[in-house]
Amino acid sequence: MTGVDTNILVYAHRRDSEWFKPAFAAIKRLAEGVEPWAIPWPCIHEFLAVVTHRRIYQPPTPLGKALFQVDEWMHSPSLRVIGESRDHWPELSAMVSAGKIQGAQIHDARVAAICAQHGVRELWSADRDFTRMGSIRIVNPLR
């Protein structure tokens, strides 16, 4: 299964992004395909926080439009929205220890641990920090 990180979701949504076209096409392929794909809940939360943030985008995406975008992704029958389960802590703890991950990268480790728990083998991201997470293959679909 393929998982999608926040930055790809943001680029696929924001038409003013230089990466809009390839990100939009990549998400469209997943959403219209039959193979299961996943968005971790923390990435949905972060997507909403980023696209509606006035200091990041001028103008920011109106909240209603951002919520509508998430609703659109949710309509994909092949989408799995994934989050922490009871087994999250051992996975996260092992990943953080093995990669010597600290500070702001803990968020990325959280996303990677959720993906690993749910059988995501490939995470689409333009964030190179994920390469320290080990158990998941990181692919930048924008290249």
Angle between helices 41-51 and 6-13 (to 10 degrees): 40
End-to-end CA distance of the chain: 20
Q: Name the pTM for this structure.
A: 0.94
Residue 18 to residue 20: CA distance in whole angstroms:
6
What average pLDDT does range 27-46 have in this prediction?
97
Q: What is the pLDDT of residue 130?
A: 82
Q: Under DSSP, is residue 65 helix (H, G, I), strand (E, B) or coil?
A: helix
Residue 75 confidence (pLDDT): 97
Instruction: List pLDDT tens digits, range 39-68.
Output: 999 999 999 999 999 999 999 999 999 999
Rg value, the chain, Cα: 15
What are the extents of the domains in the chain? 2-139
Average pLDDT over residues 132-138: 81
pLDDT band at 102 (very low <50, low <70, confident <90, very high): very high
Do the strands 79-82 and 37-40 form a parallel or antiparallel pair, or are they unpaired? parallel
Lowest mean pLDDT segment, chosen from 6-15, 56-65, 128-137: 128-137
Residue range 2-139 in CATH 1.10.10.60: no
What pairs with residue 37 in β-bridges? 2, 79
pLDDT recorded at residue 39: 98
pLDDT of residue 99: 86
Beta-bridged to residue 2, according to DSSP, are 37, 122
**What is the pLDDT at residue 134?**
73
Q: How confident is the model at residue 72 (pLDDT cuts 50, 70, 90)?
A: very high
